[in-house]
Every structure is written in C-alpha cells, then in structure tokens.
A and B are shown apart, each in its own frame.
Chain A
C-alpha cells in the first residue's frame, strides 16, 4: 500500500471512533436526570407551557434514537445544531474559538519538542552524571505539577510581581494589525502575540516537555546500546555522527507516537490554561457551555476536540509510517 492509500485507510478507520464519540457525548447529555431544558434553566421558575414550546421547537420531545438520527444527519452536513441558550448556531460559536486553541496547543508542542529532545539526549549521553540526575528531577517535577498551577505561578511571578508579561488574553496574528488600535505594524503584532503567548505556552507545554524528555532519554539510552551503534563505532564513525544520526533516528520513532497520544492531555490542559489566562478558545467556550449547561454546545465542542485528537493521531501515524521503513502500511489489521 502506498502512503496515500494508507492515509485513506487510517481516515476510514477513524470513522467508528468518531461515531463512538458522538454516541458517548449524546448519551451523557441526554440520559442525565431531568431534561435538558429544565437543566439549562437551573431551577428557575418557568411556565410549563414555555418549556414544552421550547422542547417542541428543538425536537426534544422526540424519542432518544430519533433525536440522535436527527443530530447525526445534521452533523454530516456540518450542522452542529443550535444553541438554545445563546440562540446561535453551534458551529458559528465554535469557529471563532478554534484558532486560539490551535495556536496555544501547537506552540506548547513546539516549546515542548524544542526543549525536550536536546535535554533528553543530553541526559542520555551523561547517564548517571549530576546533569542527568538534575534533568530527571526536573522531568519528574514536570509530570507531577498541575499545568494550571504552573500557569498561576507564572502569572504571579512574571505578570503580578515583575510586570514583564501580560497575564491574560491573546493577540491573534490572523486578525492583522488593523484590528487592534494599539498596534500599528506587523512586527509589532507578532511581538505582542509572542508576549501574550509565552506564559500560557510554557504552562501548557511543561507537562509535554517533561513526558517527552523522559521518553527521549530512555529511548536514546536504549538506542545507544544497540548493536548498530557498536558497529558504527567499530567502523570509525565519529561519536557525534552516531549520536545525531545512527542512534537519534531510531530513538525518534516512539517519540512520534507519544506526541500523538499526548495530544489528549494537551487538549484537556488547554481547557484549564485558557481559563487561567482568559484566552477565548475552545476550552473556555467549553467551560462557558458547561456553566450554562448548554448541552448542544457541549456536544459540539466534545465532538470537535475528539476529532482534533483523532486527526492528530492520524498525522503522527502517517509520519511514523513515513519515517519507519518497517511499517507495512497497516495491512496487519
């Protein structure tokens, strides 16, 4: 199978998972005690007739499986339904929130990869040295600290105490400088984006960095013990080339998989980080939706975030297949 067919195959494979996501969220949202409209009103005294009218209008009086079919037939056409609470199409609400979350998650990943890989290799080559022990302790703290607390600490230090960086909001480069009356030029816009992004990026990226660094270290140690490294040494290959080429290439394969799977943690973490830093992304929208029990919106967001994860995993799978010659493009399953 070629790479293109493998991609198609993986996309097809993802369909049951995507359907599964809709079933789980749909069941959770609809099997809750009390019907959605009453839940949404959160105990406010309202006319029974009004509730019935609302339910009829949004098809909530239909049996569960029919509602699911209606929902799904809308979904395949890109219609996520209508938010009763906000009186707006769910897709409209989500569209403007997608960019900030993607910017945040991708930059956190960039930060994590750019720091974790050199540090992991460094630790692997100085195994059991003080430098290795320090890096391992840092990694341990990294995987043990809640990202939102790191965010709070960064705000306290760099925004509240030192006043160097802003503590909330983002500047969106795709809006252009004309959207901000306090920004004139493009370089200034990008500078402001970076300034706003820095703290949330570090807060969200630390866990990823720590995880990747641990994996990178063990993978490099294992790879450096490989027979192929011994062979390269025996043929006079300089140690630097061995590290950068022979051992590194093999060690990167598991890293790619981990990056894909960790997207789940990163997207979950984005909810907390967007909340702490007041970033208007999907995560914050999710919290707003939860607070108002806007079940159509909650379903939409859950499905979109689940889809983002699935796509992320497919991308990493494909790059894995591209890099590792041993992968026979998924014929085994």
Chain B
C-alpha cells in the first residue's frame, strides 16, 4: 500500500432493528479508498451495498443504526466507538459531531450521486436553483459566483445551453440529462470522494455508456475518488480500479479489477462473472447463480454463500470465513473469504462435498435479478 488512504472503513456494522428482528445489513466490512481511484462495491440487490455507502455519511435511515466499526476520512473519525469505563460501548471523543458531519463532510468532502435521477431532484425548484443551493452551502461562494459555477458545471457535464437550462425544472429534463445534473451537483461541491450509488441502473444502455464515459473523463480531470456501487460486473470492468464484492452484508472478495477478473478467488465472484453477458459467449452459455440470496435477518450458518455454492463442502456449513489475503497484485492484497484456500487451513480438502444438493432443491431460475 502506498500512502495513507483517503477513506478507511474497518469492521463496519450497520443493523436495522425491525419488528421482525434485527437485520444485519452490513456485517463487519472493511475497505479503503485511496486518492484518485474508483473503488467498486458490487453485489446483488440486498447485499448491503447502499446501506454501507450511506453509513459512510452517517445517513442510515430509521430503524437502521451503525452499531460498530470505524470510519476514518483523512484522519478524521466519521464514526468510531470505544469501550467506556463501565464496559459499555460509547462514541469516541474524536468522533465528529452530527453538525460537523453535516457541515464539513456531507457535500463538501463526500458527495453522492443517487440511483434514481427522476426522483432525486426536487420537482418544484429549478435545476439551477438546486445546484446553486448546494454549491453555496458547500463552498465559500456568493450567490452570483455560485450561479456562474453551476452554469459552468452544467456545461462541463455536457448539457447544451446551460444558461437557459439553468432556469428549467427537472420535469423538462430527460433521465440521462438529470443524471448529468446530479453528477454536476456532486462535482460542483468539489469533494474529494463521490459515492455513486447505482447511478446508471435506471438509464437506457446507450445513455449508461455515455454517463460512464463522462464520469471517466471528469474523474481524470478532477482527480476525485469514487465509490461506485453497482450490481453490474460489466460496469465494474469498465470503470473501477479496485473492487469489493459484497454478499449478505459481508465483503467476500477484494482485489484490483484485473486480478479479480482473471484470477477470481471466491466462488460467488466467479458465479457473478459467469452470469454476466460477454461478447465472447452466447446467451446459452450464461450461467445464472442458483437460488436466491437469503435474507439478512437470518443468514445461513458458516459461510453465508454455502447454500448456493457449487464448491460447498461440509466444513462450509460450520466455519464462517473472514476475508484473508490469498494473493497479492500491484501492491494491493487480494483478499477472499473462502475456506477452500490454503490460507484458511480448516480441513476443506478432507471435508465431504455438499454437491448437487442445491441444484435438486433450487426452484427459482435465474439468481441474479436486476433491481
């Protein structure tokens, strides 16, 4: 690892306390984001990607709550607990206050691009007005300067006639154009990190391509880091530098993008890749992941993926693997949470296989359905 990371997440746990029980939406994930890189957060819907990314801003909605772990941004503690004198966990003294997170982190340090461009803009205010409000709030600019900056950013993200469109309302913009507005909004606040939460899922494929190219260009130009939340391995291959694969609230594999694609270490990642359409394969060769992801309220014992895993053995039902370094590439570790690797040494090779069982009982064709 080169320098001190921009953002470090360690053992983050976010839970939802519902009537039906506690949902462990994010269950002890760790990852880092360095200056100027795009880090992917990949997984099926319900894997906990969005909750994880919102936890970084301490914006988990009721009844959810961050219950453990540490989030450090540029040496400042966004979230951190310590054990008090009475043995109870309490917030650390250096943890930023709600006001500090709101005023100093949200928007001006870490900005967000949401999934649904149709709903994310307020229908009763002009696009320009909304841009200007966020710019004024997060940068030391006067109203006039903020307006000029907003128009400049609209031009930057490829919106034609930005001066006129500044005065228009969201309903006068197409989906792709609105997503460009949201990107302009994020960049205009000059953050060091942008969380893009499935920003292209709601868009047409052609528009999706344009948006990804745009982000790629702008990322290079501004040097902003990104956390790119998606369920689409194709997008990951195109844009990300390093990838974290999530399954049921856990990161089960993390590696630089080329390494992940060419030397996949976790069966789930492999399954995701196999289910992805690729130009070199026919549709018939696509392999859907068997079964559906269980609910985070009652995760399976042992390795959470074992009921759907083609390589599952008896030991997988018992041993819960934490991600461990199984290889190294480009100075980064390649971590995987699968006991079949030697680093775990829990007797995988001797354990009897659970083969074919999932296939016999699997009722749902096509595991990975889009959101």
Contact = CB atoms under 8 A, between A and B. Distances in A.
State if A and B touch, Cβ cutoff 8 Å.
yes
A233 B59 contact: yes
Contact of B114 (A230, A253, A325): A230
B122 A250 contact: yes
Contact of B57 (A228, A232, A234, A249): A234
B120 A235 contact: no
Interface string A230-253: 111111111000000010011001
B108 A325 contact: no
B112 A231 contact: yes
B219 to A, nearest CB: 19
Contact of B108 (A233, A236, A237, A326): A236
Given A227-B114, A227-B119, A230-B114, A236 B103 contact: yes
A226 interface: yes
B50 to A, nearest CB: 11
A324 B169 CA distance: 10
Interface in A304-333: 323-326
B105 interface: yes
A321 to B, nearest CB: 12
B28 to A, nearest CB: 24
Contacts of A326: 123, 169, 171
A234 B119 contact: no
A49 B187 CA distance: 91
Contacts of B47: none
A246 B182 CA distance: 16
Contacts of B324: none
A226 B124 contact: no
Given A226-B119, A227-B114, A235 B124 contact: no
A228 B134 CA distance: 12
Interface in A229-277: 230-238, 246, 249-250, 253
Contacts, number: 69
Given A226-B119, A250-B124, A234 B169 contact: no
A226 B124 CA distance: 13
A235 B134 contact: yes
A249 B169 CA distance: 14
A226 B106 CA distance: 18
Contact of A325 (B103, B116, B124): B124
B336 interface: no
A100 B26 CA distance: 64
Contacts of A246: 122
A171 B52 CA distance: 65
B105 A325 contact: no
B171 A236 contact: no
Interface residues of A, number: 20
Given A231-B120, A326-B171, A236 B59 contact: no
Nearest to A234: B112
B328 interface: no
B124 A323 contact: yes
Given A325-B171, A326-B171, A236 B119 contact: no
Contacts of B59: 230, 233-234
B111 A228 contact: no
B107 A234 contact: yes
Contacts of B90: none
B138 A236 contact: yes
A326 B125 CA distance: 10
B137 interface: yes
B102 A238 contact: yes
Given A236-B106, A238-B102, A228 B119 contact: yes
B133 to A, nearest CB: 8
Given A230-B59, A235-B134, A236-B105, A325 B169 contact: yes
Given A325-B169, A326-B169, A234 B123 contact: no
Interface in B286-344: none
Nearest to B171: A326
A320 to B, nearest CB: 11
Contact of B102 (A226, A231, A236, A324): A236
B252 interface: no
12 contacts: A228-B123, A230-B114, A232-B122, A234-B106, A235-B106, A235-B134, A235-B137, A236-B138, A237-B133, A238-B102, A249-B122, A326-B123
Interface of A: 226-228, 230-238, 246, 249-250, 253, 323-326
Given A235-B138, A323-B124, 14 more contacts: A227-B116, A227-B119, A230-B114, A231-B121, A231-B182, A234-B106, A234-B114, A235-B137, A236-B137, A250-B123, A324-B123, A325-B124, A325-B169, A326-B169
